[in-house]
Amino acid sequence: MKWHFLGGASQVTGSKHILETGETSLLFDCGLFQGRRKEANEINRNLGFAPGSIDAMVLSHAHIDHCGNIPTLAQQGYRNPIHTTTATADLLPIMLLDSAHIHESDAAYLNQKTNRRGLPPIIPLYTKEDADAAIRLIQPHKYLEPVALPGGVSFVQMDAGHILGSAVTRIEIPRPGTTPLRVGLAFDLGRYNLPLLNDPVQMKDVDILICESTYGNRHHEDALNEGEDLREAITRTLGRGGKVIIPTFALGRAQEIIYLIAQLRQRGEIPEVPVYLDSPMAQAVSRVFGKNKSYLDEDFHALYKLMGPIMSAKWLIFTESVAESKAITSSSKPSIVLAASGMCEHGRILHHLKHGIENELNSVLLVGYQAAHTLGRRLHNGDKTVRIFGDEFTVRAEVESLRSFSAHADRTDLLRYVREAAPRHVFLVHGEQDQRESLGDLLRHELNIDVHLPANGDVVNFEKLLIP
Ligand SMILES: [Zn+2]
Protein backbone atom coordinates (compact mmCIF):
# COMPACT_ATOMS: atom_id res chain seq x y z
CA MET A 1 0.00 0.00 0.00
CA LYS A 2 1.85 3.03 -1.26
CA TRP A 3 1.12 6.74 -1.07
CA HIS A 4 2.71 8.88 -3.79
CA PHE A 5 3.26 12.55 -2.96
CA LEU A 6 3.26 13.85 -6.53
CA GLY A 7 2.63 17.57 -6.11
CA GLY A 8 1.93 20.32 -3.61
CA ALA A 9 4.06 18.68 -0.91
CA SER A 10 6.59 21.40 -0.20
CA GLN A 11 4.78 24.28 -1.88
CA VAL A 12 1.24 25.63 -1.94
CA THR A 13 0.44 24.85 -5.56
CA GLY A 14 -0.21 21.79 -7.76
CA SER A 15 -1.77 19.42 -5.16
CA LYS A 16 -1.63 15.81 -6.45
CA HIS A 17 -1.52 12.43 -4.63
CA ILE A 18 -1.93 8.77 -5.62
CA LEU A 19 -2.88 5.80 -3.46
CA GLU A 20 -1.70 2.48 -4.89
CA THR A 21 -2.99 -0.64 -3.11
CA GLY A 22 -1.95 -3.45 -5.47
CA GLU A 23 -5.60 -3.82 -6.52
CA THR A 24 -6.25 -0.24 -7.50
CA SER A 25 -4.72 3.19 -8.12
CA LEU A 26 -6.67 6.24 -6.96
CA LEU A 27 -5.92 9.91 -7.54
CA PHE A 28 -6.58 12.62 -4.94
CA ASP A 29 -6.66 16.17 -6.38
CA CYS A 30 -5.07 17.19 -9.66
CA GLY A 31 -4.08 20.81 -9.16
CA LEU A 32 -2.45 23.23 -11.52
CA PHE A 33 1.14 24.13 -10.69
CA GLN A 34 1.44 27.91 -10.83
CA GLY A 35 4.81 29.58 -11.14
CA ARG A 36 7.27 30.69 -13.80
CA ARG A 37 5.85 29.94 -17.25
CA LYS A 38 8.47 27.44 -18.48
CA GLU A 39 8.69 25.45 -15.24
CA ALA A 40 4.90 25.43 -14.77
CA ASN A 41 4.38 24.29 -18.35
CA GLU A 42 6.73 21.34 -17.93
CA ILE A 43 5.30 20.26 -14.56
CA ASN A 44 1.68 20.56 -15.71
CA ARG A 45 2.17 18.63 -18.96
CA ASN A 46 3.97 15.73 -17.23
CA LEU A 47 1.46 14.31 -14.80
CA GLY A 48 3.99 11.81 -13.41
CA PHE A 49 1.73 8.77 -13.95
CA ALA A 50 -0.30 7.15 -16.74
CA PRO A 51 -3.86 8.56 -16.55
CA GLY A 52 -5.18 5.26 -17.98
CA SER A 53 -3.87 3.41 -14.90
CA ILE A 54 -6.07 5.41 -12.47
CA ASP A 55 -9.41 3.83 -11.51
CA ALA A 56 -11.03 6.83 -9.82
CA MET A 57 -10.32 10.35 -8.62
CA VAL A 58 -11.47 12.23 -5.50
CA LEU A 59 -11.36 16.05 -5.41
CA SER A 60 -11.15 18.23 -2.26
CA HIS A 61 -12.37 21.59 -3.62
CA ALA A 62 -12.66 23.90 -6.61
CA HIS A 63 -9.56 26.07 -6.11
CA ILE A 64 -7.39 25.91 -9.22
CA ASP A 65 -4.28 24.68 -7.34
CA HIS A 66 -6.33 21.56 -6.45
CA CYS A 67 -8.48 21.00 -9.57
CA GLY A 68 -6.86 23.07 -12.35
CA ASN A 69 -4.99 20.25 -14.10
CA ILE A 70 -7.98 17.88 -14.37
CA PRO A 71 -8.46 18.81 -18.06
CA THR A 72 -4.90 17.57 -18.78
CA LEU A 73 -5.89 14.29 -17.16
CA ALA A 74 -8.88 14.01 -19.51
CA GLN A 75 -6.76 15.09 -22.49
CA GLN A 76 -4.31 12.25 -21.74
CA GLY A 77 -7.03 9.61 -21.71
CA TYR A 78 -8.60 9.51 -18.23
CA ARG A 79 -12.25 8.43 -18.48
CA ASN A 80 -13.15 7.23 -14.95
CA PRO A 81 -15.25 9.03 -12.29
CA ILE A 82 -14.22 12.24 -10.53
CA HIS A 83 -15.90 12.17 -7.11
CA THR A 84 -16.57 15.43 -5.26
CA THR A 85 -19.28 17.34 -3.38
CA THR A 86 -22.39 18.64 -5.14
CA ALA A 87 -21.35 22.28 -4.64
CA THR A 88 -17.84 21.66 -5.99
CA ALA A 89 -19.48 19.89 -8.94
CA ASP A 90 -21.39 23.13 -9.65
CA LEU A 91 -18.27 25.29 -9.35
CA LEU A 92 -15.95 23.08 -11.43
CA PRO A 93 -17.34 23.92 -14.91
CA ILE A 94 -16.87 27.65 -14.20
CA MET A 95 -13.33 27.18 -12.90
CA LEU A 96 -12.11 24.73 -15.56
CA LEU A 97 -13.65 26.51 -18.55
CA ASP A 98 -12.21 29.83 -17.37
CA SER A 99 -8.79 28.21 -16.95
CA ALA A 100 -9.04 26.65 -20.44
CA HIS A 101 -9.92 30.06 -21.84
CA ILE A 102 -6.83 31.60 -20.18
CA HIS A 103 -4.55 28.85 -21.56
CA GLU A 104 -6.00 29.17 -25.06
CA SER A 105 -5.81 32.96 -25.17
CA ASP A 106 -2.27 33.00 -23.69
CA ALA A 107 -1.12 30.59 -26.40
CA ALA A 108 -2.85 32.65 -29.11
CA TYR A 109 -1.15 35.82 -27.84
CA LEU A 110 2.30 34.21 -27.73
CA ASN A 111 1.79 32.68 -31.18
CA GLN A 112 1.43 36.16 -32.70
CA LYS A 113 5.09 36.68 -31.77
CA THR A 114 6.36 33.16 -32.59
CA ASN A 115 4.61 33.24 -35.99
CA ARG A 116 6.53 36.36 -36.90
CA ARG A 117 9.79 34.69 -35.99
CA GLY A 118 8.89 31.47 -37.83
CA LEU A 119 9.00 29.37 -34.64
CA PRO A 120 6.75 26.32 -34.07
CA PRO A 121 3.37 27.28 -32.60
CA ILE A 122 2.74 27.11 -28.86
CA ILE A 123 0.04 24.59 -27.98
CA PRO A 124 -2.19 25.49 -25.01
CA LEU A 125 -1.84 23.21 -21.96
CA TYR A 126 -5.47 22.28 -22.53
CA THR A 127 -8.53 23.51 -24.36
CA LYS A 128 -12.23 24.03 -23.71
CA GLU A 129 -12.86 20.56 -25.25
CA ASP A 130 -10.52 18.94 -22.69
CA ALA A 131 -12.28 20.80 -19.87
CA ASP A 132 -15.67 19.66 -21.22
CA ALA A 133 -14.45 16.05 -21.38
CA ALA A 134 -13.36 16.29 -17.72
CA ILE A 135 -16.63 17.91 -16.61
CA ARG A 136 -18.58 14.93 -17.97
CA LEU A 137 -16.76 12.63 -15.52
CA ILE A 138 -17.88 14.43 -12.34
CA GLN A 139 -19.91 12.39 -9.84
CA PRO A 140 -21.37 14.63 -7.09
CA HIS A 141 -21.99 13.43 -3.52
CA LYS A 142 -23.35 14.92 -0.32
CA TYR A 143 -21.16 15.46 2.74
CA LEU A 144 -21.01 12.28 4.89
CA GLU A 145 -22.26 10.05 2.06
CA PRO A 146 -20.12 6.88 2.07
CA VAL A 147 -18.71 6.27 -1.41
CA ALA A 148 -17.23 2.94 -2.57
CA LEU A 149 -14.13 3.03 -4.75
CA PRO A 150 -12.44 0.14 -6.61
CA GLY A 151 -10.32 -2.30 -4.60
CA GLY A 152 -12.65 -2.21 -1.57
CA VAL A 153 -11.52 1.32 -0.68
CA SER A 154 -14.20 3.75 0.55
CA PHE A 155 -14.35 7.40 1.60
CA VAL A 156 -16.56 10.10 3.06
CA GLN A 157 -16.13 13.85 2.70
CA MET A 158 -16.88 16.40 5.40
CA ASP A 159 -17.10 20.20 5.34
CA ALA A 160 -13.59 21.71 5.39
CA GLY A 161 -14.99 25.22 6.03
CA HIS A 162 -12.51 26.68 3.51
CA ILE A 163 -14.64 27.64 0.49
CA LEU A 164 -18.10 26.62 -0.75
CA GLY A 165 -18.20 22.82 -1.18
CA SER A 166 -14.69 22.26 0.19
CA ALA A 167 -14.07 18.91 1.86
CA VAL A 168 -11.75 17.01 4.12
CA THR A 169 -11.71 13.33 3.13
CA ARG A 170 -11.55 10.22 5.34
CA ILE A 171 -10.48 7.09 3.47
CA GLU A 172 -10.71 3.46 4.59
CA ILE A 173 -8.38 1.00 2.90
CA PRO A 174 -8.89 -2.76 3.48
CA ARG A 175 -6.00 -4.75 4.98
CA PRO A 176 -5.96 -8.58 4.98
CA GLY A 177 -6.60 -10.09 8.43
CA THR A 178 -7.03 -6.79 10.28
CA THR A 179 -9.03 -3.56 10.47
CA PRO A 180 -8.99 -1.11 7.55
CA LEU A 181 -6.29 1.53 7.46
CA ARG A 182 -7.79 4.98 8.02
CA VAL A 183 -6.22 7.91 6.22
CA GLY A 184 -7.41 11.51 6.61
CA LEU A 185 -6.82 14.24 4.02
CA ALA A 186 -7.05 17.87 5.13
CA PHE A 187 -5.93 19.61 1.93
CA ASP A 188 -6.87 23.21 2.55
CA LEU A 189 -8.50 23.42 5.90
CA GLY A 190 -10.71 26.43 6.64
CA ARG A 191 -11.18 28.53 9.77
CA TYR A 192 -13.76 28.96 12.46
CA ASN A 193 -16.24 31.87 12.18
CA LEU A 194 -15.76 32.60 8.48
CA PRO A 195 -18.67 34.52 6.97
CA LEU A 196 -21.14 32.36 4.99
CA LEU A 197 -19.35 29.06 5.69
CA ASN A 198 -19.87 26.49 8.39
CA ASP A 199 -16.93 25.72 10.67
CA PRO A 200 -14.61 22.88 9.60
CA VAL A 201 -15.93 19.44 10.61
CA GLN A 202 -13.47 17.60 12.83
CA MET A 203 -12.19 14.33 11.41
CA LYS A 204 -11.73 11.64 14.08
CA ASP A 205 -9.89 8.37 14.55
CA VAL A 206 -7.43 8.26 11.70
CA ASP A 207 -4.16 6.34 11.63
CA ILE A 208 -2.51 8.75 9.24
CA LEU A 209 -3.34 12.39 8.54
CA ILE A 210 -2.06 14.29 5.52
CA CYS A 211 -2.54 17.92 6.43
CA GLU A 212 -1.96 21.32 4.84
CA SER A 213 0.39 23.81 6.51
CA THR A 214 0.01 27.06 4.52
CA TYR A 215 0.00 29.15 7.70
CA GLY A 216 1.86 26.69 9.94
CA ASN A 217 3.86 29.51 11.49
CA ARG A 218 1.27 32.27 11.50
CA HIS A 219 -1.53 33.49 13.75
CA HIS A 220 -4.50 35.17 12.07
CA GLU A 221 -6.64 37.86 13.59
CA ASP A 222 -10.09 36.51 14.49
CA ALA A 223 -12.33 36.09 11.43
CA LEU A 224 -15.13 37.64 13.51
CA ASN A 225 -13.33 41.00 13.02
CA GLU A 226 -13.82 40.91 9.25
CA GLY A 227 -17.14 42.79 9.28
CA GLU A 228 -15.88 45.47 11.68
CA ASP A 229 -12.63 46.01 9.72
CA LEU A 230 -14.63 46.36 6.53
CA ARG A 231 -17.14 48.75 8.17
CA GLU A 232 -14.40 51.08 9.39
CA ALA A 233 -12.66 51.25 6.02
CA ILE A 234 -15.91 51.76 4.09
CA THR A 235 -17.37 54.47 6.36
CA ARG A 236 -14.07 56.38 6.42
CA THR A 237 -13.78 56.38 2.61
CA LEU A 238 -17.42 57.11 1.80
CA GLY A 239 -17.43 59.76 4.55
CA ARG A 240 -14.86 61.81 2.64
CA GLY A 241 -16.68 61.26 -0.67
CA GLY A 242 -14.36 58.60 -2.06
CA LYS A 243 -14.72 55.27 -3.79
CA VAL A 244 -13.85 51.94 -2.17
CA ILE A 245 -11.94 49.71 -4.62
CA ILE A 246 -11.60 46.06 -3.57
CA PRO A 247 -9.45 43.67 -5.64
CA THR A 248 -10.98 40.27 -5.04
CA PHE A 249 -10.70 36.60 -5.94
CA ALA A 250 -13.69 35.44 -8.01
CA LEU A 251 -14.35 32.37 -5.88
CA GLY A 252 -14.98 32.82 -2.18
CA ARG A 253 -13.73 36.23 -1.18
CA ALA A 254 -16.04 38.20 -3.52
CA GLN A 255 -19.12 36.45 -2.12
CA GLU A 256 -17.86 36.85 1.45
CA ILE A 257 -17.43 40.62 1.01
CA ILE A 258 -20.87 41.04 -0.59
CA TYR A 259 -22.43 39.13 2.29
CA LEU A 260 -20.63 41.32 4.86
CA ILE A 261 -21.71 44.47 3.01
CA ALA A 262 -25.31 43.20 2.98
CA GLN A 263 -25.11 42.62 6.72
CA LEU A 264 -23.66 46.11 7.37
CA ARG A 265 -26.33 47.75 5.20
CA GLN A 266 -29.10 45.81 6.86
CA ARG A 267 -27.91 47.07 10.26
CA GLY A 268 -27.61 50.63 8.91
CA GLU A 269 -23.89 50.69 9.67
CA ILE A 270 -22.65 51.89 6.27
CA PRO A 271 -24.02 54.47 3.81
CA GLU A 272 -26.28 53.12 1.08
CA VAL A 273 -24.17 53.54 -2.04
CA PRO A 274 -24.16 51.31 -5.13
CA VAL A 275 -22.01 48.18 -4.94
CA TYR A 276 -20.54 46.94 -8.24
CA LEU A 277 -19.38 43.38 -8.84
CA ASP A 278 -17.25 43.89 -11.93
CA SER A 279 -16.17 40.32 -12.65
CA PRO A 280 -18.23 38.01 -14.88
CA MET A 281 -16.61 34.97 -13.26
CA ALA A 282 -17.40 36.16 -9.72
CA GLN A 283 -21.00 36.68 -10.87
CA ALA A 284 -21.21 33.10 -12.16
CA VAL A 285 -19.74 31.82 -8.91
CA SER A 286 -22.21 33.93 -6.90
CA ARG A 287 -25.10 32.20 -8.69
CA VAL A 288 -23.68 28.83 -7.56
CA PHE A 289 -23.73 30.14 -3.97
CA GLY A 290 -27.41 31.02 -4.45
CA LYS A 291 -28.12 27.50 -5.69
CA ASN A 292 -26.26 25.83 -2.80
CA LYS A 293 -27.78 27.63 0.18
CA SER A 294 -27.87 24.39 2.18
CA TYR A 295 -24.04 24.56 2.35
CA LEU A 296 -24.09 27.99 4.03
CA ASP A 297 -24.15 28.83 7.74
CA GLU A 298 -26.89 29.96 10.16
CA ASP A 299 -25.95 33.65 9.96
CA PHE A 300 -26.43 33.55 6.21
CA HIS A 301 -29.88 31.99 6.60
CA ALA A 302 -30.88 34.58 9.22
CA LEU A 303 -29.88 37.43 6.91
CA TYR A 304 -31.60 35.71 3.98
CA LYS A 305 -34.86 35.70 5.97
CA LEU A 306 -34.55 39.45 6.52
CA MET A 307 -33.34 40.51 3.08
CA GLY A 308 -34.25 37.75 0.62
CA PRO A 309 -31.72 36.73 -2.04
CA ILE A 310 -28.69 38.96 -1.46
CA MET A 311 -27.36 38.43 -4.96
CA SER A 312 -30.47 40.00 -6.46
CA ALA A 313 -30.54 43.05 -4.16
CA LYS A 314 -31.17 46.34 -6.01
CA TRP A 315 -28.00 47.96 -4.67
CA LEU A 316 -25.80 45.18 -6.06
CA ILE A 317 -24.97 45.84 -9.70
CA PHE A 318 -23.42 43.15 -11.87
CA THR A 319 -21.54 44.61 -14.80
CA GLU A 320 -21.59 42.39 -17.85
CA SER A 321 -19.99 44.39 -20.64
CA VAL A 322 -16.68 46.23 -20.84
CA ALA A 323 -18.66 49.42 -21.63
CA GLU A 324 -20.52 49.17 -18.31
CA SER A 325 -17.23 48.57 -16.55
CA LYS A 326 -15.75 51.71 -18.15
CA ALA A 327 -18.75 53.78 -17.03
CA ILE A 328 -17.93 52.93 -13.41
CA THR A 329 -14.24 53.72 -13.74
CA SER A 330 -14.96 57.17 -15.20
CA SER A 331 -17.57 58.06 -12.55
CA SER A 332 -16.25 59.67 -9.37
CA LYS A 333 -19.47 59.14 -7.36
CA PRO A 334 -18.99 57.36 -4.01
CA SER A 335 -19.43 53.62 -4.49
CA ILE A 336 -17.94 50.24 -3.63
CA VAL A 337 -16.30 48.34 -6.50
CA LEU A 338 -15.25 44.69 -6.38
CA ALA A 339 -13.24 43.38 -9.32
CA ALA A 340 -10.77 40.58 -10.12
CA SER A 341 -7.99 39.65 -10.01
CA GLY A 342 -7.36 39.46 -6.28
CA MET A 343 -3.64 40.24 -6.58
CA CYS A 344 -4.16 43.00 -9.20
CA GLU A 345 -2.29 40.94 -11.81
CA HIS A 346 -4.83 41.17 -14.61
CA GLY A 347 -8.51 41.71 -15.24
CA ARG A 348 -10.84 44.65 -14.77
CA ILE A 349 -9.38 45.70 -11.40
CA LEU A 350 -6.46 47.25 -13.32
CA HIS A 351 -8.80 49.77 -15.01
CA HIS A 352 -10.33 50.73 -11.66
CA LEU A 353 -6.88 51.21 -10.15
CA LYS A 354 -5.63 53.17 -13.14
CA HIS A 355 -8.50 55.65 -12.82
CA GLY A 356 -8.82 55.66 -9.04
CA ILE A 357 -5.40 55.27 -7.48
CA GLU A 358 -4.28 58.90 -7.84
CA ASN A 359 -7.37 60.26 -6.04
CA GLU A 360 -6.65 60.78 -2.33
CA LEU A 361 -10.37 60.47 -1.47
CA ASN A 362 -10.44 56.81 -2.61
CA SER A 363 -9.22 53.73 -0.87
CA VAL A 364 -7.95 50.34 -2.05
CA LEU A 365 -8.74 47.48 0.34
CA LEU A 366 -6.54 44.39 0.10
CA VAL A 367 -8.54 41.45 1.42
CA GLY A 368 -6.45 38.46 0.37
CA TYR A 369 -2.99 36.99 0.09
CA GLN A 370 -0.70 39.09 -2.14
CA ALA A 371 2.11 36.99 -3.65
CA ALA A 372 5.60 38.39 -4.19
CA HIS A 373 6.17 40.40 -7.41
CA THR A 374 2.47 41.23 -7.91
CA LEU A 375 0.98 44.72 -8.10
CA GLY A 376 -1.09 43.82 -5.04
CA ARG A 377 2.07 43.07 -3.08
CA ARG A 378 3.64 46.39 -4.11
CA LEU A 379 0.54 48.24 -2.91
CA HIS A 380 0.57 46.19 0.30
CA ASN A 381 4.24 47.15 0.80
CA GLY A 382 3.33 50.84 0.54
CA ASP A 383 5.04 51.64 -2.79
CA LYS A 384 4.38 55.27 -3.69
CA THR A 385 4.54 54.79 -7.45
CA VAL A 386 3.29 51.76 -9.37
CA ARG A 387 3.10 50.74 -13.02
CA ILE A 388 -0.27 49.86 -14.53
CA PHE A 389 -0.50 48.97 -18.25
CA GLY A 390 3.06 50.26 -18.68
CA ASP A 391 2.38 53.75 -17.25
CA GLU A 392 3.54 55.09 -13.93
CA PHE A 393 0.98 56.21 -11.33
CA THR A 394 1.40 57.95 -7.98
CA VAL A 395 -0.41 56.13 -5.18
CA ARG A 396 -2.49 58.87 -3.52
CA ALA A 397 -5.47 56.69 -2.52
CA GLU A 398 -5.37 55.15 0.93
CA VAL A 399 -4.22 51.51 0.76
CA GLU A 400 -5.24 49.23 3.58
CA SER A 401 -4.63 45.49 4.07
CA LEU A 402 -7.41 43.90 6.13
CA ARG A 403 -5.57 41.20 8.03
CA SER A 404 -8.57 39.39 9.46
CA PHE A 405 -9.37 37.94 6.01
CA SER A 406 -8.01 34.45 5.29
CA ALA A 407 -9.66 31.17 4.28
CA HIS A 408 -6.92 28.96 5.78
CA ALA A 409 -6.49 27.54 9.25
CA ASP A 410 -3.63 29.16 11.17
CA ARG A 411 -1.09 27.56 13.51
CA THR A 412 -3.51 27.27 16.45
CA ASP A 413 -6.33 25.90 14.27
CA LEU A 414 -3.99 23.31 12.72
CA LEU A 415 -2.71 22.17 16.12
CA ARG A 416 -6.28 21.76 17.35
CA TYR A 417 -7.33 19.86 14.23
CA VAL A 418 -4.43 17.41 14.34
CA ARG A 419 -4.88 16.85 18.08
CA GLU A 420 -8.56 15.93 17.68
CA ALA A 421 -7.94 13.71 14.64
CA ALA A 422 -5.45 11.81 16.82
CA PRO A 423 -3.31 10.21 14.09
CA ARG A 424 -0.18 8.17 14.80
CA HIS A 425 1.57 9.83 11.88
CA VAL A 426 1.02 13.22 10.31
CA PHE A 427 2.40 14.25 6.91
CA LEU A 428 2.57 18.01 6.45
CA VAL A 429 2.05 19.20 2.86
CA HIS A 430 0.91 22.35 1.04
CA GLY A 431 3.22 24.79 2.83
CA GLU A 432 6.50 26.60 2.27
CA GLN A 433 9.37 24.87 4.08
CA ASP A 434 9.61 27.35 6.98
CA GLN A 435 5.87 27.05 7.65
CA ARG A 436 6.00 23.22 7.60
CA GLU A 437 9.07 22.99 9.82
CA SER A 438 7.69 25.35 12.40
CA LEU A 439 4.33 23.54 12.57
CA GLY A 440 6.14 20.18 12.59
CA ASP A 441 8.15 21.22 15.66
CA LEU A 442 4.99 22.37 17.42
CA LEU A 443 3.13 19.10 16.70
CA ARG A 444 6.06 16.94 17.85
CA HIS A 445 6.40 18.96 21.01
CA GLU A 446 2.71 19.29 21.90
CA LEU A 447 1.29 15.97 20.68
CA ASN A 448 4.23 13.61 20.75
CA ILE A 449 3.42 12.10 17.34
CA ASP A 450 5.51 11.22 14.29
CA VAL A 451 5.68 14.17 11.92
CA HIS A 452 6.88 13.80 8.32
CA LEU A 453 7.68 16.52 5.79
CA PRO A 454 7.53 14.69 2.42
CA ALA A 455 9.03 16.06 -0.79
CA ASN A 456 7.36 15.90 -4.21
CA GLY A 457 8.08 12.45 -5.67
CA ASP A 458 8.29 10.69 -2.29
CA VAL A 459 6.55 7.32 -2.01
CA VAL A 460 5.64 6.02 1.46
CA ASN A 461 4.43 2.54 2.40
CA PHE A 462 1.71 3.30 4.96
CA GLU A 463 1.26 -0.33 6.05
CA LYS A 464 4.93 -0.71 6.96
CA LEU A 465 4.88 2.62 8.74
CA LEU A 466 2.21 1.38 11.15
CA ILE A 467 3.93 -1.89 12.09
CA PRO A 468 4.79 -1.42 15.78
ZN1 LIG B 1 -8.01 26.19 -1.42
Condensed to tens digits (0 to 9), the pLDDT of residues 285-335 reads 999 999 999 999 999 999 998 888 888 889 999 998 888 998 999 888 999
Name the E strands within 284-350. 316-318, 336-339
Pair 114, 308: CB distance under 8 Å:
no
Torsion of the alpha carbons at 39, 43, 44 and 48, rounded to the nearest 10: 170
Taking the centre of ligand 1 as the mean of its atom positions, its distance from the CA of residue 159, in whole angstroms, is: 13
**Residues with beta carbon < 5 A to ion ligand 1?**
63, 188
Q: Give which of 468, 466, 467, 460 is closest to 1, Cα–Cα.
A: 460
Mean pLDDT value across residues 324-353: 91
Mean pLDDT value across residues 334-358: 93
Burial group, residue 136, by CB count within 10 angstroms (0-12, 13-18, 19+): exposed
Mean pLDDT value across residues 27-35: 93
Taking the centre of ligand 1 as the mean of its atom positions, its distance from the CA of residue 140, in whole angstroms, is: 19
222-232 pLDDT, tens digit per residue, is 888 999 999 99
Name the E strands within 218-293. 244-247, 275-278
CA angle 150, 169, 224 (to 5 degrees): 165
Taking the centre of ligand 1 as the mean of its atom positions, its distance from the CA of residue 61, in whole angstroms, is: 7
Taking the centre of ligand 1 as the mean of its atom positions, its distance from the CA of residue 208, in whole angstroms, is: 21
Integer distance in angstroms from the first to the last C-alpha of the chain? 17
> Dihedral sign, CA of 244, 250, 256, 262?
positive
What pLDDT is recorded for position 345? 84
Taking the centre of ligand 1 as the mean of its atom positions, its distance from the CA of residue 410, in whole angstroms, is: 14
Pair 81, 56: CB distance under 8 Å:
yes
Pair 168, 203: CB distance under 8 Å:
yes
Taking the centre of ligand 1 as the mean of its atom positions, its distance from the CA of residue 26, in whole angstroms, is: 21
Assigned CATH class of 2-218+407-465 = alpha beta
Taking the centre of ligand 1 as the mean of its atom positions, its distance from the CA of residue 65, in whole angstroms, is: 7
How far is C-alpha 291 from the chain's CA centre? 19
Distance from C-alpha of 427 to C-alpha of 144, rounded to nearest angstrom: 24
Taking the centre of ligand 1 as the mean of its atom positions, its distance from the CA of residue 113, in whole angstroms, is: 35
Taking the centre of ligand 1 as the mean of its atom positions, its distance from the CA of residue 188, in whole angstroms, is: 5
Taking the centre of ligand 1 as the mean of its atom positions, its distance from the CA of residue 414, in whole angstroms, is: 15
Taking the centre of ligand 1 as the mean of its atom positions, its distance from the CA of residue 304, in whole angstroms, is: 26
Taking the centre of ligand 1 as the mean of its atom positions, its distance from the CA of residue 114, in whole angstroms, is: 35
Taking the centre of ligand 1 as the mean of its atom positions, its distance from the CA of residue 189, in whole angstroms, is: 8
Taking the centre of ligand 1 as the mean of its atom positions, its distance from the CA of residue 261, in whole angstroms, is: 23
Distance from C-alpha of 70 to C-alpha of 416, rounded to nearest angstrom: 32
What pLDDT is recorded for position 20? 97
> Dihedral sign, CA of 134, 136, 137, 143?
positive
Taking the centre of ligand 1 as the mean of its atom positions, its distance from the CA of residue 86, in whole angstroms, is: 17
Domain spans of the chain? 2-218+407-465, 224-401
16-20 and 2-7 as β-strands: parallel, antiparallel, unpaired?
Answer: antiparallel
Number of other CB atoms surrounding residue 410 within 10 Å: 19
Pair 78, 49: CB distance under 8 Å:
no
Angle 349-356/322-330 helices, nearest 10 degrees?
Answer: 20
Name the E strands within 106-229. 138-141, 147-148, 154-159, 167-175, 178-186, 208-212
Pair 296, 196: CB distance under 8 Å:
yes
How far is C-alpha 468 from the chain's CA centre? 38
pTM (predicted TM-score): 0.92
At residue 36 the predicted structure's pLDDT band, cuts being 50, 70 and 90, is confident
Taking the centre of ligand 1 as the mean of its atom positions, its distance from the CA of residue 9, in whole angstroms, is: 14
What pLDDT is recorded for position 312? 82
Contacts of 363 (CB under 8 A, 6+ apart): 233, 236, 237, 242, 243, 244, 245, 397, 398, 399, 400
Taking the centre of ligand 1 as the mean of its atom positions, its distance from the CA of residue 118, in whole angstroms, is: 40
Taking the centre of ligand 1 as the mean of its atom positions, its distance from the CA of residue 95, in whole angstroms, is: 13
Pair 277, 266: CB distance under 8 Å:
no
43-98 pLDDT, tens digit per residue, is 999 999 999 999 999 999 999 999 999 999 999 999 999 999 999 999 999 999 99
Distance from C-alpha of 13 to C-alpha of 368, rounded to nearest angstrom: 16
At residue 399 the predicted structure's pLDDT band, cuts being 50, 70 and 90, is very high
Taking the centre of ligand 1 as the mean of its atom positions, its distance from the CA of residue 31, in whole angstroms, is: 10
Domain 224-401 has CATH 3.40.50.10890: yes
Sheet holding 167-175, edge to edge: 147-148, 154-159, 167-175, 178-186, 208-212, 425-429, 450-452
Q: Give which of 302, 298, 292, 254 is closest to 276, Cα–Cα.
A: 254
What pLDDT is recorded for position 328? 93
Distance from C-alpha of 160 to C-alpha of 85, rounded to nearest angstrom: 11
Pair 427, 458: CB distance under 8 Å:
no
Taking the centre of ligand 1 as the mean of its atom positions, its distance from the CA of residue 160, in whole angstroms, is: 10
Taking the centre of ligand 1 as the mean of its atom positions, its distance from the CA of residue 62, in whole angstroms, is: 7
Q: Which residue has the higher pLDDT, 179 or 403?
A: 179
